[in-house]
Amino acid sequence: MPTVPVGSLELFHETHGSGTPLLLIMGLAVDSTGWALQTPEFAEHYQTTVFDNRGVGRSSKPAGPYTISEMATDAIGVMDALDIERAHVVGISMGGMIAQELTLQHPERVDRLVLACTYAEPMASMARQQEESLAQFGGSINATGTIAVDTSTFDPMTLFQHLMPLVFTPTFLAQELPKLMQLMTGSLQWGFSVEGILAQVQACMGHRTTDRLHQIAAPTLVLTGDADRLIAPEHSDVLAEKIPNAQLLKLEGGSHGFNFETPDAFNHAVLNFLSGTS
């Protein structure tokens, strides 16, 4: 199994194709299987590397807390282990938060940057949504952001059932259940760590880059769907406003899971930007 040591962790990775390096960073609770509809096409043009973030898939699942900054260091560790000096970086959702920190901490390592359906910091409405979601699982969050849940009774399928209507459109949920089962199977087959997922959630809620976004010099595409119910498109407006010369593209009808639900549109937008044609 291709893993690399990064600090005390072992991080799973795969590389496909050849050419200019491209690093893909996945979002919350999903392993690199979530890039299944991007990797083959991207690998036709780039040396495309995917990896499992700490807490999911075939990577180490240490106890929390995690921070987005630490997860950015993980991503740099993967690049170092694979002798990737500089790469295009595409991050989706939590992966977009990690990509922001990676770019801010190591600007010399990033060529072009794509931030998909992500945010610079959570709005107040997201904090309320998180509290309501945790309450459904008998959990709570205190004033310092620490999450408390009885993990002994936590059912991962219940989590996915809760998230699916926020991530995908009703039409897709009704018509594409086999695809969704494929995605869930990819996330569960290597073991599911409740503690790891909750640590990822806490890292997302602690993410703050708004006051530093002006430091990003890499050509940047801010990409979102205008029907995203999990991370509202307004978050992308903030990113595009604060990052110098960033391009903003909102895909019509795009959900939070638009890389999986409408891969042709997502892939076309990303590849056009990376090639410099948009």
pLDDT at 178: 80
Question: Looking at the chain, how many residues does it have?
Answer: 278
pLDDT at 182: 72
Between CA 24 and CA 27 the distance in angstroms is: 10
Q: How far is CA 178 from CA 31, 155, 188, in A?
A: 18, 20, 15
Sketch out the chain's domains with CATH numbers: 3-274 (3.40.50.1820)
Ramachandran sector of residue 145 (left: φ over 0; alpha: ψ -120 to 50; beta: rest): left
Q: How far is CA 98 from CA 45, 89, 167, in A?
A: 24, 10, 19
Q: What is the mean pLDDT of each run of 10 residues along the chain (278 residues)?
A: 92 98 96 94 98 96 94 98 98 98 98 98 72 57 58 66 87 86 71 86 93 98 96 97 98 96 97 89
pLDDT at 97: 98
Please, what is the Cα angle at 23 between 21 and 25, to 5 degrees?
175
pLDDT at 132: 59
pLDDT at 229: 93
Q: How far is CA 235 from CA 23, 24, 99, 124, in A?
A: 23, 21, 15, 12
